[in-house]
Structure 1
Amino acid sequence: MEVALKSAKLIGAGLATIGLTGVGAGIGIVFGALIIGFSRNPGLKQQLFGYAILGFALTEAIALFALMMAFLILFT
Structure 2
Amino acid sequence: MDLNILSAAIMIAFASFGAAIGNSNLFAKYMEGIARQPEAQGKLFGQAMILFGLIEALPIIGIAMGILLLFNVI
Q: Could you state the TM-score of these two structures normalised by the residue count of structure 2?
A: 0.89
CA deviations over 1:29-71 (Å, ceiling 9, x no partner): 1111110000000000110001100110000001110111111
Larger Rg: 1
**Shift in Å at residue 75 of structure 1?**
2.3
Query: C-alpha root-mean-square deviation of aligned residues, in Å?
Result: 0.9
Letter in 2 for 1:37: G
Q: Distance in 1 between matches of 2:28 and 2:59?
A: 19
Count of paired positions: 71
Q: Which ranges in structure 1 are unaligned for 5 or more consecutive residues?
A: 1-5
Q: Distance in 1 between matches of 2:63 and 2:10?
A: 11
Identity among equivalent pairs (%) = 27
Is residue 19 from structure 1 mapped to residue 15 from structure 2 by the alignment?
A: yes
Q: Which ranges in structure 2 are unaligned for 5 or more consecutive residues?
A: none
Residue in structure 2 matched with residue 7 of structure 1 by the alignment: 2
Moved over 3 A (4+): none
Residue in structure 1 matched with residue 45 of structure 2 by the alignment: 49
Specify the SS of the correspondent of 1:66: helix
CA deviations over 1:5-50 (Å, ceiling 9, x no partner): x111111101211121011010111111110000000000110001
